[in-house]
């Protein structure tokens, strides 16, 4: 019996991560879930937040994800995400600027603003900031 999971994280643009891990923690619309080897089969909708994988060598792999799905089956975890970025790929200043723009749009109450879309952007940028700031503190 394997004591690891094979994790694949894919976005429309690229394969963000593929490899064996000890565990993965993922934000879903129903809350955060942890997946270990021999997890029951599962399909769930992702939420914007921090994905955290621990490789088989014990290395931490924090990432920001938003939107998409997770499927767990036979020690394989497949994540199809709208966006996924490793912590080192995130530009904190750009994420902060995008968060501020989204926050401003939400407070302006303009008639032509799609509030659900702006809220999704805000959630994504907050997740990106959380991941990059947590990484900065741990370095």
Rounded-to-integer distance, Cα 110 and Cα 36, Å: 45
Q: What does the pLDDT look like over 66-95, one tens digit per residue?
A: 999 999 999 999 999 999 999 889 888 898
% pLDDT > 70, the chain: 94
Asked if CATH classification 1.10.8 holds for the domain at 91-138, the reply, yes or no, is no
Domain with CATH 2.60.15.10 in the chain: 5-87
Longest dimension (CA), the chain: 57
> pLDDT tens, 21-38?
999 999 999 999 999 999
CATH architecture of 5-87: Sandwich (2.60)
Q: Which of 69, 3, 79, 64 is nearest to 36 (CA)?
A: 3
pLDDT tier at 134 (50, 70, 90 boundaries)? confident
Specify the long-range contacts of residues 117-121, CB closer than 8 Å, at least 24 apart. 120/48, 120/66, 120/67
Residue range(s) of every CATH 1.20.5 domain in the chain:
91-138
Single pTM value for the model: 0.84
* H helix or E strand, kind and range, residue 27: strand 15-28
pLDDT of the residue at 92? 85
């Amino acid at each position: 019996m394997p004591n690891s999971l094979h994790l694949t994280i894919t976005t429309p643009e690229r394969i963000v991560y593929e490899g064996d891990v000890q565990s993965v923690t993922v934000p879903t619309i129903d809350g955060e879930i942890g997946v270990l080897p021999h997890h029951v089969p599962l399909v769930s909708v992702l939420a914007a937040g921090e994905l955290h994988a621990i490789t088989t060598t014990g290395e931490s792999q924090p990432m920001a994800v938003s939107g998409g799905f997770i499927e767990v089956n036979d020690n394989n975890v497949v994540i199809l995400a709208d966006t996924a970025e490793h912590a080192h790929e995130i530009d904190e200043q750009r994420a902060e600027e995008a968060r501020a723009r989204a926050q401003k749009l939400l407070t302006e109450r303009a008639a032509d603003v799609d509030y659900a879309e702006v809220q999704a952007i805000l959630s994504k940028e907050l997740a990106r900031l959380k991941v990059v700031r947590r990484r900065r503190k741990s370095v």
